[in-house]
């Protein structure tokens, strides 16, 4: 009994350590962890006494899940993913141990006396395996890849497949009882549900395809803009060279005119040096906005701290949402900053394990009603509609945090990966 509780405690710790490593989160409250494990041990001691063995496992899994959620502050989606991974890894080890025991003929030596010992072996191997997984960079990177992949799959796809399996299984089971009207109605019900889900699935797939198309178009536009910038720079360079050439053979008036032109061409639109490092698509959007503003005094600084290509990390829908949000916030930022003394726009793209953040800071001069900002129909622009910020704030998959620090407007758009 005591040995069993010790082993199960170790198993629980190893599971928490593994999830901690996979999710890149740190357990800050060690006291809570120790107290929870002691409570768990006491609970398990009573469970063993009074509750059937099948329920013990369910209670243990639920308890560990809740404990991991509290200790690591994971959201439900991530918690579910890591618990499934832990469960699959555990089953793999269990099956592996069973097979190894069968092959080595150990099972034949199991008696009632040493049954507990042999049962514990697979749990000890599982504990060791969880600790190894927690420290293996290779396994961690594979799990991260898998997490990104699963986040991209649509939920209706899973529901459709699950219902299809249920349908065929029930169909096979009830094949002999087709004369029973209740069975026929039940199978018909499952078939209609499958059909409806299938239609929803197809509609969603079409939506995804059209979104992917628009992302592809944005990507192409971005490439086009980068080419345009290069061509523009070459053209400007050559034009200034040619004008200088003409200047040497011109008269005084021509020289003055050419100097004016050179001055004009030399100072149009300064783009940041790292403009090409900005994620594709987004760079096109930023260029379009800045180009249409065409203000020589505008100072733009971009810090790109993204580790991945956002088109690969985000779903097409989220990518489009980000483009919408950036478009609105950039419009607002550009219009506000042009009226200010400093005329500064600072863009920062940051990424962590869970989210991608787009931070836009701009200087501004003007009047703002802090109670009405972001509400419907409120605008600080001369010809605005007051729908831009409002339309972002009501979106479910992205969040917008706005703050004002003296003469700086700070917008942070957050999207979950």
Partner 1 sequence: MIKFIVVEDNKTIQEKIKKLLVKISISLNQDYEAKYFEKYNKELQQEINDQTQRKVYIMDIELENSISGIEVAQKIRENDWDSEIIFVTSHDKMFETVHRNILEVFDFIEKFLDMDKRLEEDILKIINKKYDKKILKINGNNVELELHMKNILYIEKEDKKCIIHACDNEFKTSLTLEKLLELLDERFVRTHKSCIANKDRMVERNYSKGYFILDTGEKVELLSKKYKKEIEK
What are the DSSP calls for 378-398, one per residue? ---SSS--S-HHHHHHT-SSE
The answer to whether residue 30 forms part of the interface with partner 1 (CB under 8 A) is: no
Q: Which stretch binds partner 1 (CB under 8 A): 70-78, 234-242, 254-262, 369-377?
A: 369-377
CB atoms within 10 A of CB 163: 18
Q: How far apart are CA 205 and CA 202, in angstroms?
A: 5
Looking at 372, 377, 387, 397, which residue binds partner 1 (CB under 8 A)? Answer: 372
Angle separating helix axes 76-103 and 137-152, nearest 10 degrees: 130
Q: How far is the CB of 155 from partner 1 (least distance, A)?
A: 30
As measured in angstroms, the least distance from the Cβ of 334 to partner 1 is 15
Residues from 249 through 278 that contact partner 1 (CB under 8 A)? 270
Collapsing DSSP states into helix, strand and coil, what is residue 274?
Answer: coil
Structure tokens belonging to residue 214: 């628009």
Residue 387 found at the interface with partner 1 (CB under 8 A) = no
Q: Which stretch binds partner 1 (CB under 8 A): 30-38, 186-194, 312-320, 364-372?
A: 364-372
DSSP bridge pairs for 408: 363, 405
Which residues lie closer than 8 Å to 212 by C-beta, 6 or more apart? Answer: 316
Sign of CA dihedral 131, 132, 135, 139: negative
Min CB(32)–partner 1 separation in Å? 23
Q: Is 403 in the site for partner 1 (CB under 8 A)?
A: yes
Q: Is 369 in the site for partner 1 (CB under 8 A)?
A: yes
Q: Identify which of 362, 349, 345 has the alpha carbon closest to the alpha carbon of residue 280.
A: 349
CA pair distance 300, 305, nearest whole angstrom: 16
CB of 380 to partner 1, least distance (A): 10
Take residue 19 and report the two structure tokens written for it: 């999830």
Task: Spell out, one character per residue from 292 to 311, where the chain touches partner 1: x when CB under 8 A holds, - when not.
Answer: -------xxx----------
Residue 26, phi then psi, degrees to nearest 5: -115, 135
- Least separation in angstroms between residue 349's CB and partner 1 is 13
Q: Pick the binder of partner 1 from 12, 222, 402, 414 (CB under 8 A).
A: 402
**325-344 binders of partner 1 (CB under 8 A):** 340-342, 344
Query: CB-based contacts of 180: which residues, under 8 Å, 6+ apart?
Result: 174
For partner 1, the closer of residues 60 and 402 by Cβ is 402
Q: How far apart are CA 400 and CA 414, in angstroms?
A: 6
Tokens of 401: 């945090």
28 lies in the binding site for partner 1 (CB under 8 A): no
User: CB 93: neighbour CB atoms within 10 A?
Assistant: 19
Task: Name the minimum Å distance from CB 97 to partner 1.
Answer: 42
Pick one of 27, 407, 412, 416: the residue that binds partner 1 (CB under 8 A). 407
**377 touches partner 1 (CB under 8 A):** no
First to last CA, the chain: 45
Q: Is 148 in the site for partner 1 (CB under 8 A)?
A: no
Report 162-181 residues binding partner 1 (CB under 8 A).
none
Residues 6 or more apart whose CB falls under 8 angstroms from that of 264 comprise none
Query: Residues touching partner 1: how many (CB under 8 A)?
Result: 32
By CB under 8 A, tell whether 346 contacts partner 1: yes
367 binds partner 1 (CB under 8 A): yes
Binding status of residue 374 toward partner 1 by CB under 8 A: yes
Q: List interacting residues with partner 1 (CB under 8 A).
A: 270, 299-301, 340-342, 344, 346, 361, 363-375, 389, 393, 402-408
């Amino acid at each position: 009994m005591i040995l069993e509780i010790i082993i199960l405690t170790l198993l629980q710790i190893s599971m928490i350590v593994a999830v901690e490593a996979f999710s890149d989160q740190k357990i800050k409250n060690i006291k809570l962890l120790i107290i929870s494990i002691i409570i768990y041990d006491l609970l398990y001691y009573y469970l063993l006494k009074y509750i059937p063995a099948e329920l013990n496992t369910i209670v243990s899994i639920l308890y560990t899940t809740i404990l991991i959620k509290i200790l690591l502050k994971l959201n439900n989606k991530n918690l579910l993913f890591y618990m499934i991974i832990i469960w699959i890894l555990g089953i793999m080890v269990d099956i592996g141990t069973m097979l190894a025991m069968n092959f080595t003929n150990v099972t034949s030596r199991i008696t009632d006396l040493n049954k507990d010992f042999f049962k514990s072996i697979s749990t000890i191997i599982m504990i060791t395996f969880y600790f190894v997984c927690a420290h293996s960079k290779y396994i961690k990177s594979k799990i991260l890849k898998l997490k990104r992949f699963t986040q991209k799959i649509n939920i209706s796809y899973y529901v459709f497949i699950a219902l299809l399996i249920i349908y065929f299984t029930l169909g096979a089971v009830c094949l002999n009882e087709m004369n029973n009207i209740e069975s026929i109605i039940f199978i018909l019900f499952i078939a209609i549900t499958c059909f409806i889900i299938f239609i929803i699935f197809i509609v969603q797939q079409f939506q995804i395809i059209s979104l992917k198309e628009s992302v592809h178009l944005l990507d192409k536009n971005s490439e086009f803009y980068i080419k345009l910038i290069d061509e523009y720079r070459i053209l400007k360079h050559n034009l200034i060279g040619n004008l200088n050439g003409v200047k040497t053979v011109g008269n005084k008036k021509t020289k003055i005119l050419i100097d004016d032109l050179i001055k004009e061409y030399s100072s149009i639109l300064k783009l940041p040096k790292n403009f090409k490092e900005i994620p594709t698509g987004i760079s096109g959007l930023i260029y379009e906005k800045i180009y249409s503003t065409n203000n020589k005094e505008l100072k733009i600084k971009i810090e790109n701290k993204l580790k991945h290509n956002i088109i690969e990390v985000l779903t097409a829908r989220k990518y489009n949402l980000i483009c919408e949000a950036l478009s609105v916030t950039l419009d607002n930022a550009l219009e506000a900053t042009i009226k200010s003394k400093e005329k500064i726009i600072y863009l920062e793209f940051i990424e962590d394990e869970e989210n991608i953040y787009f931070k836009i800071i701009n200087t501004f001069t003007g009047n703002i009603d802090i109670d009405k900002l972001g509400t419907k129909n409120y605008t600080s622009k001369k010809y605005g509609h007051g729908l831009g910020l409002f339309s972002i704030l009501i979106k479910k998959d992205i969040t917008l945090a706005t703050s004002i620090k003296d003469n700086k407007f700070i917008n942070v758009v957050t999207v979950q990966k």
